[in-house]
Structure 1
Amino acid sequence: MIDAHQHFWNYQPERDTWITDDMSQIQTDFYPNESQVVFESNGIQGCIAVQADSSEEETLFLLALAEQNDFIKGVVGWTDLQNDHLESRLEYFSQFEKCVGFRHVVQGEKDPLFFQRPNFIQGVKQLAAFDYTYDILIYPHQLKESVAFAQKLPDQKLILDHLAKPPYKSKDLTNWKKDIQGYRSLDHVSAKISGLVTEADWANWTKDEIKETIDVALEVFGPKRLLFGSDYPVVLVASTLEKWLEVFHESVASLSACEQADIKLNNCLAFYQVEL
């Protein structure tokens, strides 16, 4: 297996304000040399490191870790995709072999029309020339806009993080189920089965509610467009790594061995163009 979504950081309270006091389990440093043993004991041989802070310093931090740790197979970083000089920044990052893509925290944007910004669309379009991917990080209410955005970028490899964070706590998945259907025909968009238990009630989530959304993802994206992700260490606020893996494995158990291998390994290698 390969983990398509993992984080590393040198915890800084003044910077990492999103890690609130009720997430005390992760108010500490996380480095690959410490987590690699845990992952390998659970059958995971490598990961894609994804940005958690919106800065180029973060991108360089992850790339430095990747150079020092073969466990990190690729880095999804951050750069200002609305920058007038974006091409030169992408050229700069192209010197790093393990830089595979970029992400913008659109879920944090208050502008409901952010996905329609011409300079943002143009910025993401420039990624294809460098063979970079783009990770879509949104909340459920942004799904419709994200689908329209993806339709404008047919030549760009896109991936939806955390299945757009299903609203488990609301007990009503109706709109999420309807809106995510917009991705069904967009073959250039994949999705990560990741970050789900942290969207549910941390203390009382159930396997059935998680499996329900994974079933929807299988219906919409199919086994060829889905990737496994741990969202470690964020997952620790609601689960152990082992518990999340158990739920994931049970949720895909009815698939063929080849389909499971695609979700657990092959799709990630192909999407991010990395090797174990």
Structure 2
Amino acid sequence: MKIDSHQHFWKYEPVKHSWIDDEMAVIRKDFMPVDLKQVYLENDIDGCIAVQADQTTAETDFLIELASENSFVKGIVGWVDFRGNDIDEVLEHYSKFKIVKGFRHVVQGEADHNFLLRPDFLTGISKLAPYNFTYDILVFPHQLGAVLELIKKFPNQKFVIDHIAKPYIKDGFYNGWAVLMNEIGKQKNVYCKLSGMITEADYKKWNVEQITPYMTLVLKAFGADRIMFGSDWPVCLVAGNYKTVKKLVTDFISQLNSEEQAKIMGLNAMKFYNL
């Protein structure tokens, strides 16, 4: 099975999706399963994980509904308020939906570098493991110190780093990111998605040679057993197309044996998200 471990759906609303700035105007429209199904047929992808793009439980319900109508959506990563007093009841509710595999918070948008380490947030994270829920970590490199502390606190919780932690490829930022990613990779409960990379480079001028050192570091830090392909569709359309994004990863991993390639292109996502 070839599984895209990271993509989004939305019905575009200017206020709700205000993060889509003028440079990203090409994705200021609806992106729904009917659009992605065709893309997957053209690119030989069997299924996907749909990830939240809005911080409401209505978003989680929206993804559950789409998954119920489209069998190629194999799992969803929703949103809940980890800081809420009702976190137990909310998680209990979503545990009844087998399609819900885990949750994410847009931590990259939080001003506090240590947002992940707030006591109320940690309490919420501590409730995930009994339900076998995963947690997707969406951060910028300056937040990786907090990520390292978080994952050490919960050695039995399954975590995955989204978009290789969004290093500033466009600016050539590497060393500080690399040091922390190496440390994070030593924690065996953490996976990493090879996703969202072309949009961290220059949208119009990026090239493979720019991105390869970042993929090389991730492969070395996490190994072929804990990395997974993700397209970040439709966000990837800002800097390329689906075929380009997939080829970036498949060309890079062509150095590996067929078993390792199969893991990265689908089997690891199936294992991590319990598909």
TM-score (norm 1): 0.97
Q: Deviations over 1:125-172 (max 9, x none)?
A: 101111100000000111111111110011100000001011112223
Task: Tell me by how many angstroms 1:191 deviates.
Answer: 0.6
Task: Tell me by how many angstroms 1:117 deviates.
Answer: 0.9
Question: Which amino acid in the other structure matches residue 165 of structure 2?
Answer: A
Task: Tell me by how many angstroms 1:201 deviates.
Answer: 0.3
Q: Deviations over 1:161-190 (max 9, x none)?
A: 001011112223111111211112200000
CA contact (8 A) 1:167 1:176 kept: no
2:25 is aligned to: 24
1:117 is aligned to: 118
Question: Which amino acid in the other structure matches residue 177 of structure 1?
Answer: A
CA distance in 2, matches of 1:90, 1:251: 38
Q: Secondary structure at the match of 1:159?
A: strand
CA distance in 1, matches of 2:111, 2:102: 24
Question: Which amino acid in the other structure matches residue 91 of structure 2?
Answer: L
CA distance in 1, matches of 2:103, 2:79: 5
Gaps of at least 5 residues in structure 2 are: none
CA distance in 1, matches of 2:250, 2:188: 25
1:202-213 → structure 2 map (5 Å cutoff) = 202-213=203-214
Q: Secondary structure at the match of 1:198?
A: coil
1:42 is aligned to: 43
Q: Secondary structure at the match of 1:134?
A: strand
2:175 is aligned to: 174
TM-score (norm 2): 0.98
1:131 is aligned to: 132
2:192 is aligned to: 191
Task: Tell me by how many angstroms 1:94 deviates.
Answer: 1.4
What is the aligned-residue identity percentage? 42
Task: Tell me by how many angstroms 1:65 deviates.
Answer: 0.1
Q: Deviations over 1:76-129 (max 9, x none)?
A: 000101111101001111121201000011111111221221111111110111
Task: Tell me by how many angstroms 1:73 deviates.
Answer: 0.4
Runs of 4+ with deviation above 3 angstroms? none
CA contact (8 A) 1:49 1:62 kept: yes
Task: Tell me by how many angstroms 1:19 deviates.
Answer: 0.8
Q: Secondary structure at the match of 2:43?
A: coil
2:267 is aligned to: 266
1:241 is aligned to: 242
CA contact (8 A) 1:162 1:193 kept: yes
1:78 is aligned to: 79
CA distance in 2, matches of 1:163, 1:116: 20
Q: Secondary structure at the match of 2:5?
A: strand
Question: Which amino acid in the other structure matches residue 188 of structure 1?
Answer: N
CA distance in 1, matches of 2:61, 2:174: 38
1:232 is aligned to: 233
CA contact (8 A) 1:144 1:182 kept: no
| 26-35 or 221-230: bigger deviation | 26-35
Gaps of at least 5 residues in structure 1 are: none
Number of aligned residues = 274
